[in-house]
Amino acid sequence: MKPQINQRVTIRPAKPEDEDKIVEIQYNAIKIIAAKDYSHKQLNALLKSKSIPRKSPETVFIAEINGQPVGFASLLSPPNIISAVFVDPNFIRRNIGTLLIHRLEKEAIKNKVPILWVYSSLTGYSFYRANGYQTIRKAYLPLYSTYIPCIQMKKRLLTITSNEIRKELYQFIAATAIAIAIVYFLIKV
């Protein structure tokens, strides 16, 4: 059954009891939404990896409608990578993915992360583009003896101030001067 478009979506941090629902959403999203973009072998590897609970130490947010999880997204920070955005196939194109990604970006900005990175699935590419992510390059992630094509993308969240540029320049000059001094000292001794 399709949900009403005006049903209110709320975003909240994930709890341990969400684990089964997270696995169900990621498995169904790959099986139904992403299937068209991958070969049989690649799809099987993806489904295998999404049929078990997520293990990385991620910050996870859940999207809910009427208390029911309909999507989730996660952030690995460091190294400041979006590690997942998955929406229940019954609820796609309702802005839920965008709300989730905005929540991740807010979290990253709170932690002063200047750039967010993502290895987007081929399926997620247009979604990330629509949310302001720039294409870096095509990449291949190894998964159960197969390679999964994806696209490395990034979004700058914080602009660099001239003070930060100056600070980095001073640090670079100081590091170079120390290196020269050490080499000079070693030659002399």
Ligand X SMILES: CC(C)(COP(=O)(O)OP(=O)(O)OC[C@H]1O[C@@H](n2cnc3c(N)ncnc32)[C@H](O)[C@@H]1OP(=O)(O)O)[C@@H](O)C(=O)NCCC(=O)NCCS
Q: Does residue 33 touch ligand X according to CB under 6 A?
A: yes
Q: Does residue 130 touch ligand X according to CB under 6 A?
A: yes
Q: How far is the CB of 69 from ligand X (least distance, A)?
A: 13
Stretch that binds ligand X, among 14-22, 28-36, 135-143, 160-168 (CB under 6 A): 28-36
Of residues 51 and 176, the one with the C-beta less far from ligand X: 51
Q: Does residue 92 touch ligand X according to CB under 6 A?
A: yes
Strands (E), the chain: 9-13, 59-65, 68-76, 81-87, 115-121, 134-143, 146-156
Q: Which residue of the chain is nearest ligand X when measured via CB?
A: 97
Q: What is the DSSP letter of 146?
A: E
The angle formed by the CA atoms of residues 148, 150 and 152, to the nearest 5 degrees, is 140
Q: Does residue 95 touch ligand X according to CB under 6 A?
A: yes
The whole-angstrom separation of Cα 120 and Cα 117 is 9
Q: Does residue 97 touch ligand X according to CB under 6 A?
A: yes
Q: Does residue 96 touch ligand X according to CB under 6 A?
A: yes
Q: How far is the CB of 101 from ligand X (least distance, A)?
A: 8
Q: What is the DSSP letter of 5?
A: T
Among 22, 34, 46, 108, contact with ligand X (rule: CB under 6 A): 34
Q: Does residue 120 touch ligand X according to CB under 6 A?
A: yes
Which residues does residue 11 pair with via DSSP β-bridges, in sequence order?
63
Backbone angles phi, psi at 124, to 5 degrees: -85, -5
Strand-by-strand arrangement of the 59-65 sheet? 9-13, 59-65, 68-76, 81-87, 115-121, 146-156, 134-143
Residues near ligand X (CB under 6 A): 29, 33-34, 85-87, 92-98, 120-121, 123-124, 126-127, 130
